[in-house]
Amino acid sequence: MMKMPVFRITAITSFLTGTAAFIAAPNLYAEWGLNLPPPSSPVAADILDLHNMIMLVCLIILIIVSGAMFWSVFRHRKSRGAVAAKFSHSTKLEIVWTIIPFLILVGMAIPSTNVLLKMEDTTDSTLTIKVTGYQWKWRYEYPEQGISFFSTLSTARDQIENKADKGENYLLEVDNPIVLPEGRKVRILLTANDVIHAWWIPKFGVKKDAIPGYINEMWVNVDEPGTYRGQCAELCGKDHGYMPIVAEVLSEQDFNAWVESQTQLQAVADEAADKTWSSEELMARGKEVYGQCAACHGAEGQGVPGAFPAIAGSAIATGPIDSHVDLVMNGRPGTAMAAFKTQLNDLDVAAVITYQRNSFGNNTGDAVQPAEIKAKR
Amino acid sequence: MSGVPGSYYLPNPSVWPIIGSIGLFSLALGFAMLLNDVGAGPWIMLCGVAIILYMMAGWFGTVIGESESGHYNDHVDMSFRLSMGWFIFSEIMFFAGFFGALFYARMLAVPWLADTELLWPGYGGGWPTAGPEGETAIAADTPVQAGQFSTIGAWGIPFVNTAILLTSSVTVTIAHWALKNNDRGKLVLWLAITVVLGAIFLVLQAMEYIHAYSELGLTLGTGVYGATFFMLTGFHGFHVTIGAIILTVILFRCIRGHFKPKYHFAFEAAAWYWHFVDTVWVGLFIFVYVL
Amino acid sequence: MATADIAHHDDHDHHPYGFMRWVTTTNHKDIGTMYLIFSLVMFFVGGAMAMMIRAELFQPGLQVIDPQTFNMMTTMHALIMIFGAVMPGFVGFANWQIPLMIGAPDMALPRLNNWSFWILPFAFTMLLGTLLVEGGGPAGGWTLYAPLSIQGGMGVDMTILAIHMMGISSVLGAINVIVTIFNMRAPSMTLMKMPLFVWTWLITAFLLIAVMPVLAGAVTMLLTDRHFGTAFFDPAGGGDPVLFQHVFWFFGHPEVYILILPAFGVISEIIPTFARKPLFGYDSMVFATAGIAFLSFIVWAHHMFTVGMPLTGELFFMYSTMLIAVPTGVKVFNWISTMWRGSMTFETPMLFAVAVVFLFTIGGLSGLMLAITPADFQYHDTYFVVAHFHYVLFSGSIMAMMGAVYYWLPKWTGHMYNEKLGQLHFWLTAIFFNITFFPQHFLGLAGMPRRIPDYALQFTEFNVVSSIGAFGLGIAQLLFVYIVVQTIRGGQKASDEVWEGSHGLEWTLPSPPPYHTFATPPQVR
Ligand code: HEA
Ligand code: HEA
Ligand code: CUA
Ligand SMILES: [Cu+2]
């Protein structure tokens, strides 16, 4: 009898919480996914099958084991007049429950090994893409096609700060997605520039760490054209949560067209570097590029005290141009300030420096031309 | 006296532990401040060292007092033995971590880097190495030019040092026999020889470091070779220093007539520690210098 | 004179009073109490940080804390829970119980025992102090992976040095436990007669001595890479960031068994008492514990399947990890067989014990799924992992500790706790725990990475549920404190056996036991 109120109180509390949870959860986004997402590549399909299999085995084990326990809990209780038996061991039983689990494990290990062997086989690929992780963006390079670009989060700051409604692909959208051809085995080479990141798209069934100084390999072969989303999956600092991965999978034809257009863009950019730019043009361009710096130095150039210096009033951004250019191009080893010459083209470096020197209250009036940057490379 | 059968000596409340904790805290805090150029770091750190030394003197003094006045019995003695054994085991695991780092870097990481043409074009790997962007290794014990480093050959000072440490293991054992036979003169003599050998080892090691820094271009910053080399030999040298200090203390106690042929755990603990330090050195000699 | 120092009396010991009594004490009961109080405080501090994490994750978008602070909270939450709540908690139980269970007058090295404890408050002051220095606390996750941990300011150095201090404390404490068990048993207490709690602690202590120094080595290398120009983890100098992970997890995996083995010991004490039936398969329990400890040294890289190890490595670590299910299964089966055909009652300790067996099995089975390399590529660094380890850590270690408190508190204080409130605390904890962490399995499978302050909209619902569960779980723990305080201050007198089915030396002593116990060794049947 003593237990009744206890049960009742807990029952009421848990009922209330459950209801609260339902009401609080805005059903707007209702997805309630319970399992791995539907696979879009052979590897992901294999993993899903494997997952379902081991999941089932584990569930069955859980049901049997806890079934035995709860049966005993309900039947062998003193209040039902149970009298304790005296037995305290049984060698036979103990051998049985050592061997059976072992056999179950062997049964699980065999298909797992097969899937693993398949995943690790990167031979016979027809396209290679190099992926480099940066704090906090991805760089995609197609060495054979001579294409290279960066990919950063494109969700507006206002959405993150709850000042605007969140879009459908909140935090899972980027400016330049990686583009893959459909139905081809693509080999991906992974590395990183600063700290460890991990490249992961759940529907592709691949996840691998991008480690500075080392190259990891993996492959994907996507069944269908479409847009696929994932996220950086290794803690890489402040904006680890804002480093999405979006893959655009195109048909063979569209892919070739895309390669063509990228090659042209590259040529335009090269030309731009030789031209002389007006301050306004540089400032406009610089404001855009500064988006990459804002993660650390703040949208208003205010920095993060103790971690990232402010640009507003910074001795470097208001001092001699050369040391400013040098810092941005070569970074500062051992800190999060990277060498941006490997990440930005001449125009962008020139523009962002101009922008930093003439914003947030800095007004040096300087304008840096791309040609000056080119000369320093 | 602990004459009651089966009784175990339980010390009274003691202030030494809390003093030790305060010392540790200010040592660590001061060190962290020092590393980051914050204000009074070095002074706080020195305070910590002083407090810890004070604690050790006080704590060991108490233990020696208890021991000499006969509070301890076989049972307590066994506790001390076991704990010293396990403490040495923990030290072995500490070194195991650094040895593991050495093996991993040498057997796996460097060959992988050498295979990574895309990122490190032209890097050939091999051992010794300071990595793709570090100095190039040249033959051992050769004067270097800019951008080069040279290693310390095994058969010069390191070999002599091996001989010295192994000899000192023997001498401390001779001293132990002497103690068991209650031959005090011999005990003091051989123990003193051990301490002197330890000191010579340290002097040679220091000379070797100076040589490495000033002539061989081999420093802590010489890539993974320099890192593993100095981490392993440095921590070992630190342990030799501690061991030598302990032996010196024991030596003075012997001179004062402490220890009995049957009860002399502190002496044995020091000797065990010394053997452990020697054994680690043999591992170092083989894996760091010879191979 | 000297006789007064010897522990064969009870009352007229001279020791300081008030605060200094606690600071200078060499008594295992005092030290055990301090460890337990410290653990409870840390549980609340770490829990408060978890509340901040869950508050931020209640809704998508940034509301409560900025991303950098969020990472600090995650990092500190884990360090504090593991090194501040669970490890010291179990050392507290060891201090109180091991001497009572083996018939010893105290721990073997009482002064060292005091030091092991008193290092901790200083170490955690240092760790928490990082929040006050420029640049803030460590934000690279409790695993402190290089090169992320090479970045960051003085807070990271303070964390490293705090870890060194915790390591010293743990190693000294573990040496004390081992020596006590080997050297202080009553003459007729043979090894194979020792209570299982003592056995699991013996093996835990061994693990501690074996791996804490390795952790110290790992963070030392981090420190020299940060400040002394070494290149252990810097590829440009021939090092490898992954080296840190190998050294860390060589410590880290045995560490998780350090966190669970004493809990297994507690469960093995509680279940026989309330089943009124001897523990089933004592010998195989001992061997299984030893087997788990052995295997724990050769499975570490299952935390690193995605770093791109050679295939043979991945296969080896997959197989070896899976093997751990066998000895762990033996333990689970033995507990169930102990309950089988017993005569059970369900006082609060037993409720906790039964829940631990059930919920730990869930956590263990999800661990087994993580061990399957190709599947782990999907699970790794998602909330599936977070769910796994809270099932083994919270509903394994923490709930076992709570059960142990209810089980032994009457012995220690001489007062019975309030059974009704105890059961209420149990049910609230068990239910809210599941509301908090069960949905995290789904989040992980759906693709939510861990260690993120903000998430895509498809993860909203389960996060809301999880956060509400967490707040409930937090509030329920206030009840726990209330019950414990109430019991310490008074209540119904507890008998010497306390529990009808209790069995073992500690229950032959009065409740509460005198300040010094077993000055003359007891007889063991
Ligand atoms: C108390 C702590 C604890 C315990 C006991 C365990 C137990 C286990 N853990 Fe867990 N683990 C953690 C704490 C713990 N773990 C933590 C903290 C992390 C994350 C660290 C971080 O990254 O921050 C982690 C992460 C972790 C990973 C890495 C995941 C990843 O990051 O990708 C893996 C992978 O293999 C794993 C596996 C296991 C296994 C196989 C067990 C086994 O010991 C479980 C064995 C038990 C059973 C299997 C159930 C009972 C058995 C039976 C009923 C018998 C029948 C069963 C069969 C035949 C299958 N754990
Ligand atoms: C023993 C270990 C342990 C314990 C007990 C817990 C307990 C809890 N943990 Fe934790 N957790 C870890 C170990 C543990 N955790 C580890 C190792 C990680 C990985 C970290 C990493 O990635 O590096 C982690 C990470 C982790 C995450 C993922 C964070 C991320 O990836 O970003 C989350 C999120 O929900 C979480 C939640 C919780 C909750 C809700 C509890 C609850 O059980 C807590 C219950 C709450 C209380 C007991 C507190 C009561 C407090 C109050 C009522 C507040 C008022 C009081 C004061 C202010 C004084 N934990
Ligand atoms: Cu990049 Cu996380
Ligand atoms: Cu593990």
SS3 readout for A179-207: EEECCCCEEEEEEECCCCEEEEEHHHCEE
Tell me which of C79, C385, C394, C433 to substitute to probe ligand 2's pocket, judged by most ligand atoms within 8 Å of the beta carbon.
C394
Tokens of C142: 């409790």
The ligand 1 atom at the shortest distance from the C-alpha of residue A108 is 59
The answer to whether C211 touches C174, Cβ cutoff 8 Å, is no
Length of chain C: 525
Residues 87-146 of B with CB under 8 A from A: 112-113, 116, 118-120
Please indicate, yes or no, whether residues B61 and B153 belong to a single structural domain of this protein.
Answer: no
Tell me the pairing of strands A216-220 and A178-181.
unpaired
Does B46 share its domain with B6? yes
Cα-based distances in Å from B215 to B129, B143, B218, B222, C345: 17, 6, 8, 13, 77
* Catalytic choice (C149, C328, C429, C487): C328
> Is-contact C116 C91, C-beta < 8 A?
yes
Domain limits at B179? 73-290
Which positions ≥6 away from C184 have C-beta within 8 Å? B8, B79, C99, C102, C104, C105, C107, C108
**Residue type at position A2:** M
Say how far apart CA A207 and CA C381 lie, in whole Å: 10
Q: What percent helix, strand, coil does chain B show, rounded to 5? A: 70, 0, 25
Q: What is the CA radius of gyration of chain A?
A: 29
Q: What domain range includes position C179?
A: 1-187+504-525
pLDDT band at B261 (very low <50, low <70, confident <90, very high): confident
Note the residue count of chain A. Answer: 377
Q: Distances in Å between the alpha carbon of B29 and those of C155, C229, C375? A: 11, 21, 44
Choose between C276 and B140: higher pLDDT: C276
What's chain A's average pLDDT?
Answer: 86
SS3 state at C205 = helix
| pLDDT of amino acid A198 | 97
Neighbours of C6 (CB within 10 A): 19
Residue B64 sits in the same domain as residue B202 = no
Q: List CB-based neighbours of ion ligand 4 within 5 Å.
A: C 253
Residue pLDDT, tens place only, A149-162: 899 999 988 899 98
**What is the predicted pLDDT for the residue at B271?**
94
Element (H, E) at A217: strand A216-220
C334: tokens are: 């033995």
Tokens of A234: 């290794």
Q: Are residues B80 and B58 in the same domain?
A: no
The neighbour count for residue A341, using CB atoms within 10 Å, is 18
Are the C-beta atoms of residues A354 and A368 closer than 8 Å to each other?
yes
Evaluate the omega torsion of the peptide bond into residue A136 and state whether it is cis, within 30 degrees of 0: yes
Angular region, C382: left φ>0, alpha ψ -120 to 50, beta rest: beta
- C294 part of a folded domain: no
Look at residues C82, C106, C102 and name the one whose alpha carbon lies nearest to residue C32. C106
Min distance B189 CA to chain C CA atoms (Å): 33
Read off the pLDDT band of B175 (50, 70, 90). Answer: very high
- Domain layout of chain A by residue ranges: 1-34, 35-119, 127-270, 273-376
What CATH number is given to the structural domain containing B153? 1.20.120.80
B128: cis peptide before it, omega within 30°? yes
- Structure token digits, residue A119: 């995943």
Domain range A273-376, CATH architecture = Orthogonal Bundle (1.10)
pLDDT given at position A273:
72
- Bond before A37 cis per omega within 30 degrees: no
- Distance between Cα C228 and ligand 3 center (Å): 27
CA A314 to chain centre: 32
C82 CA distance to ligand 2 centroid (A)?
10
Tell me, yes or no, if C503 is annotated catalytic: no
Q: What mean pLDDT is reported for chain B?
A: 91
Architecture of domain A127-270: Sandwich (2.60)
* Nearest ligand 2 atom, CA C393: 1
219-278 in chain B: CB under 8 A from chain C: 219-228, 230-231
Q: Which residues of B touch C230 (CB under 8 A)?
A: 220-221, 226-227, 230-231
What whole-number percentage of chain A has pLDDT above 70?
91
Q: For chain B, how many structural domains are there in total?
A: 2
Is there a single domain that holds both residue B126 and residue B45? Answer: no
* Residue B2: pLDDT band with limits 50, 70, 90: very low
Domain boundary among B37, B71, B105: B71
- pLDDT at residue A168 tops 60: yes
Q: Is residue C2 part of a domain?
A: yes
Beta bridge partners of A246: A229
Task: Give the C-alpha separation, C176 to A275, whole Å.
Answer: 76
Residue of A nearest to B121 (CA): A213
In the prediction, which pLDDT does A25 show? 45
Residues B114 and B35 in one domain: no
Question: Is the pLDDT confidence value at A31 over 70?
Answer: no
Chains sharing 3 or more CB pairs under 8 A with chain A? B, C
pLDDT tops 80 at residue A24: no
Predicted local distance difference test score (pLDDT) of residue A296: 84
Confidence at residue A3, expressed as pLDDT on a 0 to 100 scale: 45
Give φ, ψ of C358 to 5 degrees: -70, -50
In a domain, C134, yes or no: yes
pLDDT tens digits for range A191-239: 999 999 999 999 999 999 999 999 999 999 998 999 999 999 999 999 9
Kindly report the nearest CA distance between residue B127 and chain A, in angstroms: 18
Distance between CA atoms of B132 and A332, rounded to whole angstroms?
19
Kindly state the average pLDDT of the residues A130-146.
92
Q: Is the pLDDT of residue A104 over 50?
A: yes
* Domain assignment of residue C159, yes or no: yes
Predicted confidence at residue A17, as pLDDT, reads 54
Q: Among residues B71, B93, B125, which one ends one of the domains?
A: B71
**Averaged in consecutive runs of 10 residues, what is the pLDDT profile of chain C (525 residues)?**
38 66 91 96 97 95 93 96 97 96 92 95 96 91 94 92 96 96 91 95 97 96 94 94 96 96 96 94 95 96 95 95 96 95 94 97 96 95 97 96 96 94 96 96 95 94 95 96 94 90 90 86 74
- Class of the domain covering A35-119: mainly alpha
Q: Is the CB of C411 under 6 A from ligand 2?
A: no
CA of C371, closest atom in ligand 1: 35
* Cα angle value C317/C318/C324 (rounded, 5°): 90
ipTM of the complex: 0.91
Contacts of A189 in chain B (CB under 8 A): 118
- What element of type H or E holds A52? helix A42-75
Distance from C-alpha of C428 to C-alpha of A182, rounded to nearest angstrom: 52
CATH code of residue C63: 1.20.210.10
| Domain end call among B71, B94, B110 | B71
* Structure token digits, residue A11: 């029952």
Task: Write down the pLDDT at residue B199.
Answer: 96
DSSP A228: E
Reported as a pLDDT band with limits 50, 70 and 90, residue A375 is confident
pLDDT value of residue B73: 83
User: Quick one: which of A342, B241, B6 has its CA closest to C6?
Assistant: B6
pLDDT of residue A8: 55
- Specify whether C257 is catalytic: yes
Least confident of A369-373, B91-95, C117-121, C509-513: A369-373
Q: How far apart are CA C48 and CA C81, in angstroms?
A: 11
Whether residues B93 and C211 touch (CB distance < 8 A) is answered with: yes
Residue from B118, B129, B133 to probe the interface with A (highest A Cβ count within 10 Å): B118
C425 given a catalytic annotation: no
Residues B122 and B157 reside in one and the same domain:
yes
Does C404 reside within a domain?
no
Q: What gap in Å lies between CA A173 and CA A194, rounded to an integer?
A: 23
Count structural domains, chain C: 1
Give the pairing of strands A197-201 and A206-210.
antiparallel
pLDDT at B291: 84
**Once rounded to an integer, what is the mean pLDDT over residues A33-46?**
88
Average pLDDT over residues B155-164: 93
User: What is the mean pLDDT of the segment spanning A64-86?
Assistant: 91
The answer to whether the beta carbons of residues C141 and C451 sit under 8 Å apart is: yes
Give the model's confidence band at A292: pLDDT under 50 very low, under 70 low, under 90 confident, else very high. Answer: confident
What average pLDDT does range B139-153 have in this prediction?
87
C170 annotated active-site: yes
C249-C250-C256-C259 Cα dihedral, nearest 10 degrees: -130
Task: With a cut of 60, say whether residue A36 has pLDDT above it.
Answer: yes
Q: Does any domain span residue C104? A: yes
